[in-house]
Structure 1
Amino acid sequence: MQTLTPGNPFIYMKVGVHASEDLTSIIIRKRAEISKAGVAFWGYGGNTCHPLTAVQPFVEEAVKDGISVHLLMQEIKSNHFAEPLRAEQCSADGVTYKKIHPDIHVLGSRYALVIDSLDATEIGVHLNQTKVGIGRLAGNTGESYLRGRVDKACLIYAPELPSAESPEVKLVLSARLAPPYAVLLK
């Protein structure tokens, strides 16, 4: 994905060091996983973008309309130095867990997005021209939602929104989401 068009749904995420691994190493590892296993798991944690109540329904709604959803990432300086423990099992429904493919290594995470591509991109977006696409804050601007420590969101590109000027965010990585789109890990 090299551009956003009005109405495009996407998952926004700030990325950097994760589980003591630098972003360049993570990208190399994830591309190798996609090559070997067909998909990779992009791990994350936190309270936003829960796999079952946010990501899956958000993506499934777009897919019904024939739209593929991408994870678009902004690189930041981060200090996520949690233990790089590999998840062994995943669940798409929170009930049934299965072993993770041996070529997939998702480290230090509670959840993961399922991706089948990972490409460099150069997309500039003003977060005040996005809106939250699901949940009790649906319709709020991405800019207001992402204030403070929130680092990910299910967003819809809405350049028509009337709002004050905001800085342009540079999105440098794009990954296409693949079924089941997001999973729980243990």
Structure 2
Amino acid sequence: MSVLNPGDSFLYMKVGVHANETLEDIIKRKRQEIEDAGVSFWGYGGSSCHPYNAVQPFVREETAKGTKVRLLMQEITSRHYAEGLAKEYSPDGKNYYPVPKGVNVLGSRYALVVNTLDPIEAALSLSDTKVGIGNKRGIRGDQYIRGHVDKACLVYSPGAGFAERKADIELSLSAVLAEPYAVVLR
């Protein structure tokens, strides 16, 4: 089952244990946060999807074209044990605000702002995607997502002259991004 149409833009992220919390517990908590606060912050780290120079401009560029950008997640086995509760967030690097009441972000430098979190069962070949922003724009997703790179701003482009098709990955979660789409935490 495909959850994407040609040209659809999305954020891809590998997810699993985070800050000593199982993915099942994280999902339960995040859904409760969405119910109580209207949004949740899906925490992450790394530099490949920085809020200000990747996620926000990518989502704004794509939504200006009329495209709805989602977060699609692949469950993996992980061992993330960092701790620490974020108290403030910044949508712009200048102004900081308290994390919304009822929202908890653990062990993360950044967060995606989401207002839905739904289970999905879908397969995707990263060779049918391309990086949608930055100096790697246009590179096939399967060539970009490797090693420690576990997230990306991608565009679904099946059969767009790419080389061999790589094996499918299983997607298990989908979320809709809400403004300001991604934030820095402290």
Aligned to 1:91: 90
Structure 1 moving runs of 4+ over 3 Å = none
2: distance between equivalents of 1:116 and 1:26? 15
Aligned to 1:63: 63
Matched, 1:100 2:104: no
Q: What are the Cα deviations for residues 68-101 of structure 1, in whole angstroms up to 9, with x where unaligned?
A: 2110000000000112x11000000000001111
Aligned positions, number: 185
2: distance between equivalents of 1:38 and 1:15? 22
Alignment of 1:11-30 (within 5 A): 11-30=11-30
Aligned to 1:47: 47
The alignment's TM-score, normalised by the length of structure 2, stands at 0.97
1: distance between equivalents of 2:62 and 2:165? 28
SS at match of 2:142: helix
Aligned to 2:183: 183
> Shift in Å at residue 109 of structure 1?
0.2
Aligned to 2:170: 170
Does the 8 Å contact 2:128/2:165 carry over to 1?
Answer: no
SS at match of 2:54: helix
Identity, in percent, stands at 54
The alignment's TM-score, normalised by the length of structure 1, stands at 0.97
> Shift in Å at residue 47 of structure 1?
1.0
> Shift in Å at residue 38 of structure 1?
0.4
Amino acid of the residue matched to residue 135 of structure 2? R
Q: What are the Cα deviations for residues 1-40 of structure 1, in whole angstroms up to 9, with x where unaligned?
A: x610000000000000001100000000000000011000
2: distance between equivalents of 1:132 and 1:165? 16
Q: What are the Cα deviations for residues 106-138 of structure 1, in whole angstroms up to 9, with x where unaligned?
A: 100000000000000112110011000000000
